[in-house]
């Protein structure tokens, strides 16, 4: 893999990868600490693991994460039984949060994990191929080798399908032997595998596409802001156009489609009620002409619906 991990293995999808990554190593008496805006696959994986000791911290709030870690360390002392291993404390965070486009404060998370003896897992589905010159969030923050578990998907930047778990060789071998969703799943087709390999080759040769992606993202975001749209707290090419009302988001998307612009509404339960938005996703293959076409459609619909 381009992220430079010791070992990796491939699964049919990113959703399954998160389930394998969490439910295979965490038991009922272990402790999980999760960001409140983590992806649905992480939430479901924690449920599947039947973890009794689950803590949720406010989004990117490192003060609250430290409090939860302190509570977890105290809890470990009460849970550990003589002669048995101590319960695991696992901190889980998205790298790039898929609905808002903001980035997890990974250096602080890693530092706190080391301080309190926790292990770290990051879902980098929206960071690989985008951050760190395409190599992901660990490279973005110069944290190569300091994250215990990294999960990625091949259905975002690579445009194919599949999920990946990376980490130490011993951990990956354990996943191969014990990960039930992996053991009882069908592998990728030959065509999908070839497409993934080619995508990795392209990213490994040059970061030109990554630079073009970020250039397009800035152009699009600046265009939205100039028109008067609210793009939230994004720090990445994920560009939300915040609308609030669920029905407004649906109508806005439908009117965009009538103008030959495909941009889906993101609404409850994908985001909190009252936080609906259109999520615009520029790519490296968009030209400025394409982006201008999209911006003009957003402007027309925004004025028609009284958003701007």
Cα distance between residue 96 and residue 66, in whole Å: 21
Q: Pairing state of beta strands 163-167 and 239-244?
A: unpaired
Q: What is the largest CA-CA distance in the chain?
A: 69
CB 266 within 8 A of CB 240: yes
**Alpha-carbon distances of 13 from 152, 162, 185, 231, 252, rounded to whole Å:** 9, 4, 10, 29, 31
Cβ-Cβ contacts under 8 Å for 132 (sequence gap 6 or more): 138, 139, 140, 141
Name the nearest CA neighbour of 164 among 142, 197, 131: 197
φ and ψ of 265, to 5 deg: -80, 135
Q: Which residue among 72, 98, 253, 267 is the active-site one?
A: 98
Does residue 98 carry a catalytic annotation?
A: yes
Cα distance between residue 282 and residue 305, in whole Å: 23
Q: Show the tokens assigned to 80.
A: 């550990």
- Taking the CB of residue 186, how many other CB atoms lie within 10 A of it? 6
Q: Show the tokens assigned to 112.
A: 């706190």
Cα distance between residue 263 and residue 253, in whole Å: 6
Q: Which residue among 126, 140, 275, 286 is the active-site one?
A: 126
- The SS3 assignment for 41 reads helix
Does residue 139 carry a catalytic annotation?
A: no
Q: Which residue among 156, 267, 275, 286 is the active-site one?
A: 156
Does residue 212 carry a catalytic annotation?
A: no
Give the active site residues.
98, 126, 156
């Amino acid at each position: 893999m381009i992220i430079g991990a010791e070992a990796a293995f491939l699964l049919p999808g990113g959703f399954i990868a998160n389930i394998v990554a969490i439910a295979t190593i965490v038991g009922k008496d272990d402790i999980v600490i999760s960001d409140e805006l983590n992806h649905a696959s992480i939430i479901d994986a924690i449920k599947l693991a039947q973890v009794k000791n689950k803590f949720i911290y406010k989004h990117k709030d490192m003060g609250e994460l430290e409090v939860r870690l302190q509570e977890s360390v105290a809890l470990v002392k009460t849970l550990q039984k003589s002669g048995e291993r101590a319960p695991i404390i696992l901190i889980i965070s998205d790298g790039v949060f898929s609905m808002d486009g903001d980035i997890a404060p990974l250096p602080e998370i890693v530092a706190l994990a080391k301080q309190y003896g926790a292990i770290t897992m990051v879902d980098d589905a929206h960071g690989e191929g985008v951050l760190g010159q395409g190599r992901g969030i660990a490279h973005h923050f110069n944290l190569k080798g300091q994250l215990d578990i990294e999960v990625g998907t091949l259905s975002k930047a690579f445009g194919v399908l599949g999920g990946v778990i990376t980490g130490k060789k011993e951990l990956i071998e354990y996943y191969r032997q014990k990960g039930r969703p992996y053991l009882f799943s069908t592998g990728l087709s030959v065509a999908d595998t070839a497409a993934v390999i080619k995508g990795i080759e392209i990213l490994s040769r040059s970061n030109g596409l990554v630079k073009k992606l970020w250039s397009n993202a800035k152009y699009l975001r600046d265009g939205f802001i100039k028109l008067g749209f609210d793009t939230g707290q994004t720090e990445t090419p994920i560009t939300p156009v915040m609308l609030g009302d669920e029905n407004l988001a649906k109508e806005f998307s439908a009117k965009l489609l009538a103008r030959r612009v495909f941009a889906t509404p993101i609404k409850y339960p994908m985001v909190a009620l009252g936080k609906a938005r259109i999520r615009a996703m520029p790519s490296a293959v968009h030209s400025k002409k394409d982006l201008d076409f999209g911006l003009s459609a957003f402007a027309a619909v925004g004025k028609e619906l009284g958003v701007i």
